[in-house]
Homo-oligomer: A and B are copies of this chain.
Amino acid sequence: MSNSGPIRILSVDDHPLLREGIAALVNNQPDMVMAGQAATGAEALQLFQQLQPDVTLLDLRLPDMSGIDILIAMRSELPEARIIMLTTFEGDVEIQRALQAGARGYLLKNMPPSELLDVIRQVHAGKKRIPAAIASQLAEHMSDETLTEREIEVLQEVAGGNKNREIADRLFISEETVKVHIKHIMEKLGAADRTQAVTIGVRRGIIQL
């Protein structure tokens, strides 16, 4: 794409103070410039289309939509888009989904600014960059079996405090089937009971509370 002029950056995060910090840092670099900022998914997509930034910094949690969905939307618009997730830790499943959806980098907000600049430059140069701390977190559960959509749905219901009978009614299946799903969930997550299944699911970013 553009190999002349500074790297034009779009920052998407619902924390204005953090965006301001990124802007201050970026605009201090000779080879970078903030092209725009967005606080919501809708704003982000509009600005992305309008500005066509070289690199996009994207938070995972925004008020109106999931960062993953924004990522997907941006890449369907511009498959070559260089997008870096910048977020507080969210569990291996979130990381995995972001990378599968085409993120070129994954950074934590508590990392030093130099790391951010480094990753921006590398990603802009066409590379992928995942810090070791994140990669190891990812490797930890690499071999784990993933939950199916239905299982996640059931786990979410379990987290809501529903009994098997109630879950069955809500999902229009039999109570026995619910039991089978929960059994599989516990096996896959290595949980001793439904409660621990929920806590592990939350920690790993499989469900939200």
Chain A residues in the interface with B (C-beta under 8 A): 14-25, 63, 88, 109-113, 116, 158-163, 191-199, 202-203, 209
**Residues of B contacting A16 in the complex (Cβ-Cβ under 8 angstroms):** 21, 110-113
Copies in the complex: 2
The CA of A111 and the CA of B24, in the complex, are separated in Å by 19
A64 to chain B, nearest CB (A): 13
The CA of A77 and the CA of B24, in the complex, are separated in Å by 34
From B19, B196, B197, B203, give the contact of A21 (CB < 8 A): B19
The CA of A112 and the CA of B159, in the complex, are separated in Å by 33
In the complex where A199-B198, A202-B209, A209-B203 touch, is A20 in contact with B161 (Cβ < 8 A)? no
Residue contact A17 to B109, C-beta cutoff 8 Å: yes
Residue contact B18 to A161, C-beta cutoff 8 Å: no
Max chain B Cβ within 10 angstroms of own Cβ: one of A63, A158, A161: A161
Residue contact B199 to A159, C-beta cutoff 8 Å: yes
**Residues of B contacting A163 in the complex (Cβ-Cβ under 8 angstroms):** 192-193
In the complex where A20-B25, A24-B20, A209-B203 touch, is A196 in contact with B15 (Cβ < 8 A)? no
